[in-house]
Chains A and B, each alone.
Chain A
């Protein structure tokens, strides 16, 4: 499909700013995964007295808009205080690029989330935030799953109300996602992304991800339940289903 990109997107894609990684970064964060075809890593330097983000670099694995949004995110945040950067909305990155095709809006979310994750790492290292904030409860899991995009609509499965049910028992998590009319051929893809998000939470020892379909059809994927007590096993199986 031909996508029409703005001249600003093309400019940041062909001449990305702040590419690479800082030699002695104060913090690093990666958002996204190779399986999703979208991943960005930020390294940052923050002045502990002024809280100014003095230097930032990124590496990108992804499409043209992934590269352009990450580049724009570094341009917008460099020289700002971390408090200012934390208030960034992904829309600002997209707007400064003259807009993104709807299907590519998630790229700006990925870039801004990655940037904020790097700042979070810095805050933790400087005692300004704690890892304890990430507690295993329904809310944190919902927040985590906001990053899972329904491939058919380009919207988060959480905001689409597709996350039916979350159950937590100690380190065990059960998540039920309803396809709600989404083409079941995306079931494997959605399960893979959900599994990957859960995988990122260290406190989860066991997970069950169940995809409920309205129609039985699922091409190139098995249907329904996938259990795994071994986390890495769950990850690869999710991908190859």
Chain B
């Protein structure tokens, strides 16, 4: 057990499950046809793709023809945002998003901003929630799109999508949500939740990389962002990634079969680790607790030490995690999500994300927690960060967390 890798980076990606691989395999060698071909092999491939489309759309409360397969959730976000902008009338040049989006939403929107669109970046509260009154106030007659992430990739905040969707529907504004982290973890029904556009992918739910999807509600018009042949209802050119699509559907089907049981299990794993780690002095949990948090995510700040050093030491001890520290990023700035919920830069630098799948166990959290304690003690024993000199906030684990809660 000690020697086996403890993989707590499932918000990054997940391993494929055997039944998913088994479902995909024939489509690499035997049923390798191009769905566009008119002969038998092509027809078989087309049928398999249609079946997969029906499976996934059924799981989110959509019709098959409302689901467009893409190469990733990133591509789905780009198609939703850039496609809606290209289709918007010249009078509607305003869009709204939040400050805690993933780069796959931030960057297409920043491109639009450079091209002359006006953007409102909504603040979030200390737990990462968008205030629906803020959204209501931000909508103007020029607004054509609102894009708010469903489950946040760093701090696990799950937005009240229906409340936000309702505001947009009433105002006649398109509503897009990036559901890459939340899909198959927390319920989402695009019809009931009043969503117009939603992005998904397969590799966060034990499916393959390189396949995603965009839900486009019937009657919503986007302009495609790539030119080519008329695949995917003439919205996304390029020969379909048939094995990927089959793997996506297989993974989604498996995930939904045991969704409530798996969610409860992952929540228990998550909460068990959170409780153990908050016993360490000078720590805080970033993001909400309970069912308003992704069952897959725990994000903890270890004060006075730096995230990359924690991550590297844990990696050497067989625990895989990720960090919101500047030093683990390409550009030396701390995560926009952590600073947006009010963390000081030094606290963002000391944050570690532990993220789970249904394959993780309580036993693993016990082993990992011991290793985290060891690493935190080691790094704190040599830190140059003198709390009395460099920081005003004091307190220990749980106490510190409660103090923050009271401030809310």
Q: Which one of B305, B306, B339, B382 contacts A220 once the chains associate, using CB atoms below 8 Å? A: B339
Residues of A within 8 A of B312 (CB): 13, 63-64
**Is B136 part of the binding interface, using a Cβ–Cβ cutoff of 8 Å?**
no
Residues of A within 8 A of B391 (CB): 34
The total of chain B residues at the interface (CB under 8 A) is 40
**Is B114 part of the binding interface, using a Cβ–Cβ cutoff of 8 Å?**
yes
A62 to B332, CA, bound (A): 12
A64 to B316, CA, bound (A): 12
CB–CB A1/B329 < 8 A: yes
**Is A20 part of the binding interface, using a Cβ–Cβ cutoff of 8 Å?**
yes
B38-60 CB contact bits vs A (8 Å, 1 = yes)?
Answer: 00000000000000000000000
Q: Which one of A1, A36, A60, A149 contacts B328 once the chains associate, using CB atoms below 8 Å? A: A1
A64 to B309, CA, bound (A): 5
Residues of B within 8 A of A38 (CB): 306, 327
Within 8 A of A (CB), among B339-386: 339-340, 342, 344-346, 349, 382-385
Residues of B within 8 A of A154 (CB): 332
- Chain A: which residue is nearest B342 at the CB level? A240
CB–CB A219/B306 < 8 A: no
CB–CB B99/A220 < 8 A: yes
CB–CB B327/A63 < 8 A: yes
Q: How far is the CB of B85 from chain A (nearest CB, A)?
A: 16
Within 8 A of B (CB), among A130-173: 149, 151-152, 154
CB–CB B308/A35 < 8 A: no
Q: Which one of B313, B328, B342, B384 contacts A61 once the chains associate, using CB atoms below 8 Å? A: B384
Within 8 A of B (CB), among A14-72: 14, 16, 19-20, 30, 33-41, 58-64, 66-67
Q: A34-B391, A103-B332, A185-B333 are in contact. Are A64 and B110 (CB under 8 A)?
A: no
User: Which B residues are within 8 Å of any A CB, using their own CB?
Assistant: 99, 106, 110, 113-114, 119, 121, 304-309, 312-313, 316, 325-334, 336, 339-340, 342, 344-346, 349, 382-385, 390-391
Q: A36-B345, A59-B384, A154-B332 are in contact. List 17 more A-B contacts (CB 8 A).
A: A1-B329, A13-B312, A33-B390, A37-B306, A38-B306, A60-B382, A60-B383, A61-B385, A62-B327, A63-B306, A103-B331, A151-B331, A186-B331, A189-B345, A217-B113, A220-B340, A240-B342
User: Could you show 6 A-B contacts with beta carbons less than 8 Å apart?
Assistant: A34-B345, A58-B384, A60-B382, A61-B385, A64-B309, A66-B309
